[in-house]
Structure 1
Amino acid sequence: MTVIIPGMNMNFERVPVRPACEQESLLSKWQNHSLDNLIELHNKAPVWNDDTQSYVLNFHGRVTQASVKNFQIVHDNDPDYIVMQFGRVAEDIFTLDYNYPMCALQAFAIGLSSFDSKLACE
């Protein structure tokens, strides 16, 4: 999964994105590799666990059930800093944690998109 969000300025304020045409949208800028004032994030790759014979992510106890919907979002420059994590804790209950530079609305929208495999697909 790839996540594109507006960047931050020197005062830690989000850079406004106001596309006047389709070529100025976040998606168009990302497709054209024009990432000025944008932050590109990716899901963290799981690691193989010999004990469980499966790929796993460390959610530090925040996620308690295995699910294909569980994921963590990181920046390529610092894969140990979890910007966002989303995962199952009960049959119909999920947890969502986020950190700077993501805001609550962005994290919630990304979490919602994981429920429909056709939304936010590359």
Structure 2
Amino acid sequence: MTVVLPGMTADHQRVEFRSSGEHDSLIDRWKSKNMDQLIELCNKTPVWNDDTQSYVLNFHGRVTQASVKNFQIVHESDVEYIIMQFGRVAEDVFTMDYRYPMCALQAFGIALSSFDSKLACE
């Protein structure tokens, strides 16, 4: 998963993003590699666990059940700084944590969109 967000100023304010035309959306800028004032985030790569014979992510106890819907979002420059994590804690219960530079609305939108492509995976 790739996440593209408006960037932040030096004083921690969100950069205002306004499309200048029909082909100037966040996705258009990302596709053309015009990342001025944008932040590109991605899934943290899981590591192989010999004990469980599977790929795992460390959710530090916040996620308690395995699921294809579990994920962590990081910036490539610091993969240990987890900006967002989302995962299953019960049959139909999930937890979501986020932090700077993401806001609650962005995190919630990302969490909701993660269900769209994985509806029949389990």
TM-score by length of 2: 0.94
Unpaired runs of 5+ residues, structure 2, are none
How far apart are 1:18 and its partner, in Å?
Answer: 1.0
Secondary structure of 2:83's counterpart equals strand
How far apart are 1:23 and its partner, in Å?
Answer: 2.4
Report the AA paired with residue 21 of structure 2: C
Q: Which has the larger strand fraction?
A: 1
Work out the CA distance in 1 between the residues paired with 2:99 and 2:43: 14
**Fraction of identical pairs, as percent:** 70
Question: Which stretches of structure 1, 4 residues or longer, exceed 6 Å deviation after superposition?
Answer: none
Report the AA paired with residue 19 of structure 2: P
Task: Map Cα deviations across residues 89-120 of structure 1 (whole Å, 9 max, x no partner).
Answer: 000000000010000000000000011108xx
Report the AA paired with residue 67 of structure 1: S
Work out the CA distance in 1 between the residues paired with 2:105 and 2:78: 23
Counterpart of 1:95?
95
Report the AA paired with residue 34 of structure 1: N
How far apart are 1:11 and its partner, in Å?
Answer: 1.5
Q: Does 1:47 find its partner at 2:57?
A: no
Task: Map Cα deviations across residues 26-77 of structure 1 (whole Å, 9 max, x no partner).
Answer: 0000000000000000000100000000000000000000000000000000
Aligned ranges for residues 17-56 of structure 1 at < 5 Å?
17-56=17-56
Counterpart of 2:82?
82
Counterpart of 1:16?
16
Q: Which segment is superposed worse, 19-28 or 7-16?
A: 19-28
Work out the CA distance in 2 between the residues paired with 1:57 and 1:22: 39
Counterpart of 1:106?
106
Unpaired runs of 5+ residues, structure 1, are none
Work out the CA distance in 1 between the residues paired with 2:23 and 2:32: 9
How far apart are 1:20 and its partner, in Å?
Answer: 2.8
How far apart are 1:21 and its partner, in Å?
Answer: 1.3
